[in-house]
Amino acid sequence: MRCTVLITGSVFSRRSIPGDAKYDTEGVTAMGEQIRLDKCLAMLGIGSRSEVKQIIRRGQVRINGIVLSDPNQKLDAENSEIEVAGIPYTYKFERTVMLNKPAGVLTAARDRKQRTVMDLLPAMYTAMGCMPAGRLDKDTTGLLILTSNGALAHRLIDPNKEVGKTYEAVIDGLMSDMDITAFEQGITVQDADGTFEAKPARVCVMESGEGKSLVRLRIAEGKYHQVKRMFAMCGHTVLTLKRVAIGRLLLDPSLEPGAYRELTEDEYPLLEQEDKW
């Protein structure tokens, strides 16, 4: 896609599935299945199994308004009103969230030395089996989906599904017509990390000035450092990179870096719809 380049004084005053991520649903019950009370509370992130047993035995748990004191009591968690120490909780069979990933955080389930995206979420999401659906580099920001739905995650990362991911990149230099054509036709990436044929991408130069450009591009695959390597083949260095959409699902502008929220029912279909820009 060719766009008119807007020259301004300065536009830059704006400020893996990870290899260890496995969609293990051990302990996650099927929809509508009865679940033990202590297991339910542990999966809500209220505490460890031993901690929630103490909470239950102290009479601090109400289910549908009735105090339950037996940790082994079973309930239909999805269809029950759960209250712990006066605080209401909602149990869901599946959870999917959008996170505005900040820079400096790893897209991984866990890491012994560095903070990961899972560290940005309450313990409940880890207990429910949520994992990143795809990867953003440590210094890349923006939209990241984390889900306990393994089938959804697979569809989002499977290159054969061609789910579009849209990025905004600030690069050094100005994009030429030759650069744009190369992106649109597909670039052969050949560097120290290997060789691959990048599929055709949509690219639009949004603004340029002071030797830099703000570029929006859409790709439907996710090779290692792909966006940075594609720009490098055209002689450009990516200075900042932010993912702003997956399919037609846009990053919620109200989410500050590091903030998250659960997807609404209306947003799920947007993930796999082709964007129209």
At 184, which CATH number? 3.30.70.1560
Name the domain boundary from 64, 89, 114: 89
Flag whether 61 is in a domain.
yes
Q: Do 238 and 169 have their domain in common?
A: yes
Q: 69 and 113 share a domain?
A: no
Closest CA to 150 of 139, 141, 161, 158: 158
In terms of Cα–Cα distance, which of 218, 222, 275 is closest to 250?
A: 275
Same domain, 239 and 170: yes
Cα distance between residue 174 and residue 208, in whole Å: 7
**CA-based nearest residue to 91, from 54, 49, 36:** 36
User: Which residue(s) pair with 97 in the sheet?
Assistant: 146, 262
Task: Give the rounded distance of the alpha carbon of 128 from its chain centre.
Answer: 16
Annotated catalytic, 119? no
Single-letter amino acid, residue 242: K
The per-residue pLDDT for 16 is: 34
| Residues 134-189: tens digit of each pLDDT | 999 999 999 999 999 999 999 999 988 889 999 999 999 999 999 999 999 999 99
State the CATH number of the domain containing residue 75: 3.10.290.10
Q: What is the pLDDT of residue 31?
A: 54
Catalytic-labelled residue, pool 76, 137, 252, 275: 137
Give a yes or no: residue 277 inside a domain: no
Tell me how many domains the chain contains.
Answer: 3
Quick one: 211 and 261 in the same domain?
A: no
Instruction: Based on the fold, state whether residues 112 and 174 are members of the same structural domain.
Output: no
Domain assignment present for 109: yes
Query: Does residue 4 form part of some domain?
Result: no
**Angle formed at CA 274 by CA 269 and CA 277, multiple of 5 degrees:** 125
**How do beta strands 212-219 and 141-147 pair?**
unpaired
Q: Does one domain contain both 40 and 82? A: yes
6 in any annotated domain = no
* Per-residue pLDDT, 123: 84
| 183 and 238, same domain (yes or no) | yes
Cβ partners under 8 Å of residue 16, min gap 6: 107, 108, 132, 135
Handedness of CA 249, 135, 144, 109 (dihedral sign): positive
User: Which CATH number belongs to the domain containing residue 153 in this structure?
Assistant: 3.30.70.580
pTM reported for the whole predicted model: 0.78
Q: For 127, which DSSP code?
A: H
Same domain, 219 and 233: yes
Note whether 85 and 216 are same-domain residues: no
Do 206 and 101 reside in the same domain of the chain? no
Whether 138 and 104 have beta carbons less than 8 Å apart is answered as yes
In a domain, 12, yes or no: no
> Are both 100 and 75 inside the same structural domain?
no
pLDDT value for 274? 75
* Cα gap 213→209, rounded to integer Å: 6
In a domain, 203, yes or no: yes
pLDDT of residue 45: 81
Residue 155 in domain: yes
Give every residue of the chain whose pLDDT is below 50, as ranges: 1-2, 4-28
Looking at residue 128, its pLDDT comes to: 83
Q: How far is residue 214 from each of residues 165, 175, 210, 217, 222, measured CA to CA in Å?
A: 17, 9, 11, 10, 21
| 129 plus 253 within the same structural domain | yes
Residue 253 structural domain: 96-159+249-272
Euclidean distance between CA atoms 242 and 215, whole angstroms: 11
